[in-house]
A and B are shown apart, each in its own frame.
Chain A
Amino acid sequence: MTIKLYDIAHSRAGDKGNTLTLSLIPYKPEDYPLLCEKVTADAVSHHFRDLVLGEITRYELPNLPALQFVCQQALSGGVTTSLTIDTHGKSLSYALLEMVIDNDL
């Protein structure tokens, strides 16, 4: 069975220059291992292939638990010079939550 990340996790987007940060926080801590397994940096790079030109790094925070994705060259130049509507990429948390994963470990 497949599920959308939106069904099991929440996210907040942040920006520094042309770099986008995205947290991914499971509503239930017991879903954290599933996120670690399925939502790899490679999987997110594939999901964001039309948006993120640079490398995506994943950080694991088992204490919270949460994942943090740092996406380089993600904001069409960044808040100050981008021609896009959402120059900060503030809405892109919900682009991550559109990702579909297999719901089995």
Chain B
Amino acid sequence: MKLWTYLRERAAIGEPRGKLLTGASFAYVFGAVLMFLLLVQGVTGFALAAFYSPSTTDAWASVAYIQDQAPFGWFVRGLHHHGGSAIVIIAGVHLVQTAVSGAYKRPRELVWWLGILSLLLVLAFSVTGYWLRWDQAGFYASQIELGIAAATPVMGGAIKSLAIGGNDYGNLTLTRAYAVHVILLPALLLLVTYFHVRISRRLGPTPVRTKPVAVTRWPYQSMRDAIAIAVVFAILLAYVVSTHGVDLAAPADPTSAYDARPLWPFRWLFELRIIAAGAEQLVAMVVPAMFGGFLVALPLLDRRTEREPKHRKLWLGALAGLFAVVGALTVASFARDSNDEQLARRRATADKLATRARDLALTNGVPVTGPLDVFKTAPMWNARTLFATRCAGCHGVDSTERKGPVIGPGHGNRAWLTQFLKTPSGDAFYAHTKLAQTENAMKPVEIPAADMADLVELLYSDSGAQDVDVAKKDRGVKVFEAACTDCHTRDEGVASSAGPNLYGLNSRDYYTSFIGNPKAPIHMGSDKSQMPRFDRDLSIVDRDALAEYLVWLRTATLDDVNALGPL
């Protein structure tokens, strides 16, 4: 208690202050609730800043790390995001309440203007904060917002260049937005709210009771403040938990099409721009300026001392009209989206991409080259991409222009070999090739089933597979010599006269070599293959990656292929 006495004397803590002449009321809780919510933003903002990295290569990755890996990261991020929305809502209610009760009138004009200024700062927070995610949503929102700013007469180009830090979006865009969001805006907001609160305290609240009884703030007003804070915070926490925080879209991709939308406080402007097509740049600037101008001018327009709402129908009606228009435009904007089925499909695709990116970031980490490369960390991404772009046209099971054998799961396993030997010109094999139409086409191998099994085991073992029945394989050598050697050989490096050399058939080295030049004498020979050689336009690394993928396919099922995920 000595410390308390010490502080009480020196810091003037607990000294009796002026009483609340108007009495305590729930009408006066909004300031306290907003202060508490700003504290929440400060605390959660600090925690997020301790993880966030403002660079184009790291921003998305660090947010994904906060969201999906750091303990309670999703919660703190969600609290910060939705807490910002709560501030806009409560500040809006506070503004309407102030307007209705005529609390902006003399001598409280300054309090009103400082309040409007702090609301503008809050909106600036939400704009800059949204950019920092550097996902599709934040990236494209920044494009639109800065596009509007760039249309400002005379200074537009300079404003945009200052905001993005140069000629194009990049690291400097993020470092600047970050500096503004975590240093400049908090400092300004602190300053503005300090004077807003200080002056309003000096002047006291606008009376809401006809016969007020003066009370001390503590505990009579404080308890009402605490109840309001507890209720608002409980709703906010419940919302954060029920939504699992806030979404994170796929990493920013300047080449993609993305249905960008601004955050909800700006949706009315988005709708207005659609309605005002043709003059949208003008409307996007003039309308908010007029709205803001009206709010600022209100104490100057409505100057009579009369505060009773029913005697101020003109100005309150005008204000109600403005809010009704903003509300209607907001509802219309959300309704437009929810009725758009094509948009819903595009959103579902974008959501899948986001989930994919975040899954890969979680399991593999994000490459230092940037978050878009996270897609390339998928298993055998390079080989599968090459296959899809360079091979699937002629070898894909779904291809309508197939020119060669199907290459898919199970390629080169025992069942595949057996089927191939029985029907080399079957639909899944050489049926679509020119070779199949000629005399040179391979004839079906017609031998007893036991011999066939031995031959298959031999060819299967050449692929390098480990699960080989050695006895069967050894017997297969004799079958091969009896049935195949007219056209084929299994000796390394020897070109056989009619058919391809089968040395190391379906092994990684075989595939690499075959893909490199299928027309080589040891493979198909120049007259029997339509397949182009790839040793000139695919690097040895790429050809080897493809070969590795083909070897992997031998033991894979369709489920395994699907489990690799999309490209």
Q: Do A and B bind each other?
A: no
Interface residue ranges, A against B (CB under 8 Å): none
